[in-house]
Amino acid sequence: MVNYRQLSMALALSTAGLVYGASPQGGQVSAKPDAIAVPATRSGTYVVTPRFDNAGAFSEGLAAVQVGDKWGFIDRTGSLVIKPQFNPGQAQYNAKFADGLAAVNFQPGGDGARWGFIDKRGAVVINPQFDGDYYTPPFFSEGRAAIKVGARYGYIDKTGSFVIAPMFDEARWFSEGLAVVKTGGKYGYVDRAGMVAIQPTFDSAGAFKDGLAVVTIGGRCGFINRTGVLAVKPQFELLDTVSDGLAQFAVSNPYHTDEKGQVAQDAPAPQDDGAWKYGYVDRTGRVVIAPQFELTLMNQLGGSFVEGLAVVEFGTSATPTRRAQRGKFGFIDKAGRLAINPQYDFASSFSDGLAVVEVDGKYGYIDHTGNMIIEAQFEQADSFSEGLAWVRLGTKFGFIRR
């Protein structure tokens, strides 16, 4: 996402798939920034003209929009199908339809906010009654929604009935039939019936994707399979979920690889020396792209390889929790070669064949070859979702298609 006002929230949300440990050589690349002209729009036809005070991405055919201090939902033509009536805060921005329902509340936020769910007609089907993080609304996945009551988390079905009673210190969404829960200071996994599928023995844990999940044991990250067996032993300081067959990792010390190509640190990790480098491993933990990048999209928004390319940044020193300065963003392919030179002030992962890039304070869209398809002209822009993307022109939000 290129919406900087949401960056702090995205950082928090990304930790569900991006797991920190306590740590795990390659070719050289050169960054040659290219000058880019910023002419008028060459593409990016408005489907919904900029007229809203804020907007979220389309999901299941509807998008949240703000009119004045209230939120409602529009369809793909821009028609308000659910009138603006929901909370005046920022939270509704993150509420999207999933399994036919979207979380809403009618209060201004803070400790008094209560979440419920509406259907696509705007009818309240589950009354607002659940606590939770005001800025991260609950949502349904695989027919279940993690909700908070008091200090405990449980799961409801689409009728609002508890299927797993509130008993956990934390609870996350279901993915591939399992959900991360925390109890007794440790993380494990439950199935949709609430039965413990993988005992809570991990210091941290992420959602399953393509049969693997990131877990931390003793300050190091590795992969487990759906039976809870270690597929890749904990050896990394920082590890992301597998995406397009590769997962990002980070090192802050010299390291070597063993005969299997896996990581072995040469020295204990320092606390925060600004020397982190990012690379990529495959599903077996073998280093495929050596750590050489100052920053990747992983530790900002939980991204990785998408559509065969990954965002990387050059020219800055950073750790997972601190950035010294902004560098230039470009893209690499799955062999670690530069596919698009680092030349942008910011870049997002590809979606629907296009990626958002920032040029001189304006946002536009490039294709896989780096050609500017929709010229940089917007104050803010989002990735395409369901064929449409919100953009901000001046102070108003609208939607464009390719």
Q: Is the pLDDT reported for residue 8 higher than 70?
A: no
Would 152 be classed as within a structural domain?
A: yes
| Mean pLDDT in residue range 284-295 | 86
The range of the structural domain enclosing residue 21 comes to 4-59+139-401
Would 96 be classed as within a structural domain?
A: no
Six-digit token pair at 106?
Answer: 């009618």
Would 89 be classed as within a structural domain?
A: no
| Mean pLDDT in residue range 72-78 | 96
CA-to-CA distance for 151 and 10, rounded, in angstroms? Answer: 23
pLDDT tens digits for range 203-252: 999 999 999 999 999 999 999 999 999 999 999 988 999 988 999 998 87
Six-digit token pair at 30?
Answer: 């050169």
Q: How confident is the model at residue 131 (pLDDT cuts 50, 70, 90)?
A: confident
Provide the number of structural domains found in the chain: 1
Q: Is the pLDDT reported for residue 38 higher than 90?
A: no
Phi and psi dihedrals of 48, rounded to 5? -125, 115
Q: Is the pLDDT reported for residue 88 higher than 70?
A: no
Would 88 be classed as within a structural domain?
A: no
User: What's the Cα-to-Cα distance from 199 to each of 52, 146, 191, 226, rounded to whole Å?
Assistant: 47, 19, 11, 12
Write the CB contacts of 81 (distance below 8 Å, at least 6 apart in sequence).
Answer: 62, 73, 74, 75, 120, 121, 122
Whether 272 and 266 have beta carbons less than 8 Å apart is answered as no
CB-count burial class (<10 Å; 0-12, 13-18, 19+) for 396: middle
Would 362 be classed as within a structural domain?
A: yes
Write the CB contacts of 160 (distance below 8 Å, at least 6 apart in sequence).
Answer: 117, 125, 126, 127
| Mean pLDDT in residue range 376-396 | 96
pLDDT tens digits for range 152-200: 999 999 999 999 999 999 999 999 999 999 999 999 999 999 999 999 9
pLDDT tens digits for range 319-333: 444 444 567 899 999
Length of the chain: 402
- H helix or E strand, kind and range, residue 7: helix 7-14
Write the CB contacts of 307 (distance below 8 Å, at least 6 apart in sequence).
Answer: 244, 349, 350, 351, 353, 368
Q: Hey, which of 39-43, 169-173, 271-275 has the most confident mean pLDDT? A: 169-173
Whether 373 and 42 have beta carbons less than 8 Å apart is answered as yes
pLDDT tens digits for range 343-360: 999 999 999 999 999 999
Could you tell me the maximum CA-CA distance found in the chain, to the nearest angstrom?
62
pLDDT greater at residue 81 or residue 271: 81
Q: How confident is the model at residue 52 (pLDDT cuts 50, 70, 90)?
A: very high
User: CATH number of the domain that 178 lies in?
Assistant: 2.130.10
**Helices first, then strands: H and E counts in the chain:** 2, 40
Q: Is the pLDDT reported for residue 124 higher than 80?
A: yes
Q: According to the model, what pLDDT value does residue 271 have?
A: 42
| Mean pLDDT in residue range 71-80 | 95
Q: How confident is the model at residue 94 (pLDDT cuts 50, 70, 90)?
A: confident
Whether 330 and 340 have beta carbons less than 8 Å apart is answered as yes
Type of residue found at 15 = T
Q: How confident is the model at residue 11 (pLDDT cuts 50, 70, 90)?
A: very low
Would 277 be classed as within a structural domain?
A: yes
Q: Is the pLDDT reported for residue 19 higher than 60?
A: no
Q: Is the pLDDT reported for residue 259 higher than 60?
A: no
CB-count burial class (<10 Å; 0-12, 13-18, 19+) for 5: exposed
Q: According to the model, what pLDDT value does residue 210 have?
A: 92
Q: Is the pLDDT reported for residue 32 higher than 90?
A: no
Would 337 be classed as within a structural domain?
A: yes
Would 119 be classed as within a structural domain?
A: no
Q: How confident is the model at residue 256 (pLDDT cuts 50, 70, 90)?
A: low
CA-to-CA distance for 96 and 344, rounded, in angstroms? Answer: 30
